[in-house]
Structure 1
Amino acid sequence: MLFFSTSTWEPENSNKIIEHFKKLRPPAGVKIINQWVDISGGRYFILYETEDAKSFAEFNLPWSDICYIETSVVMESTEFIKLMSSKGV
């Protein structure tokens, strides 16, 4: 499954966030597709794939002390349209 996460943090945590980024190594079972940083500050976006809750938790929990993470399960729009069409929608 694909996950799109937006992480935000308080300005006083910026240095801690940079240190986390330097050490970012996804656990087994997590494949990073792409990632972006809001150059105006305070936000990070990441698209990644994983199939199990354990890998998801291992990837996100180390950040929970310094930022807020909002995650959505996503699907490419062409795949979504195919799925909905197959359901008669």
Structure 2
Amino acid sequence: MLFFDISSWEPRDTEKVIEHFKKLKPPAGINVVNQWVDLNGGRYFILYEADSAEAYAEFNLPWSDICIIDSVPVMESTDFIKLMVSKGL
């Protein structure tokens, strides 16, 4: 399943976040599609696929001490339209 996460942090925690990024290695079951950084600072965007709830938790929990993570399950719009059509909606 695809997830789009928006992680935000307080400016005072920027150094801690940079240290986390240096050590970032997605666990088994996580496939990072792409990632972006807000050029204004304080936010990070990532699109990734998680094979399981366990992989999802293992990927996000290490950030919970310094970031607020808004995580949204997503799918490509063309796939969503096909799904809706197949359901008669």
Output the TM-score relative to the length of structure 2: 0.98
Instruction: Give 2:41's aligned residue.
Output: 41
CA distance in 2, matches of 1:40, 1:50: 28
Amino acid at match of 1:63: W
Over residues 19-60 of structure 1, what are the superposed CA-to-partner deviations in whole Å (9 max), with x where a residue is unaligned? 111110000010000000001000000000012110000000
2:21 aligns to what?
Answer: 21
Tell me, in whole angstroms, the C-alpha distance in 2 between the residues paired with 1:51 and 1:59: 11
SS of match in other structure, 1:80:
helix
What's the offset of the Cα at 1:80? 0.1
Normalized against structure 1, the TM-score is what? 0.98
Structure-1 separation of matches of 2:80 and 2:51: 18
Aligned position for 1:2:
2
Gaps of 5+ in 1: none
Partner residue in 1 for 2:54: 54
Any runs of at least 4 consecutive aligned residues in structure 1 with deviations exceeding 6 A, and if so which?
none
SS of corresponding position for 1:24: coil
The share of aligned pairs that are identical, in percent, is 67
Amino acid at match of 1:50: A
CA distance in 2, matches of 1:87, 1:54: 30
Structure 2 runs not aligned, ≥5 long: none
Q: Report SS of the residue matched to 1:31.
A: strand
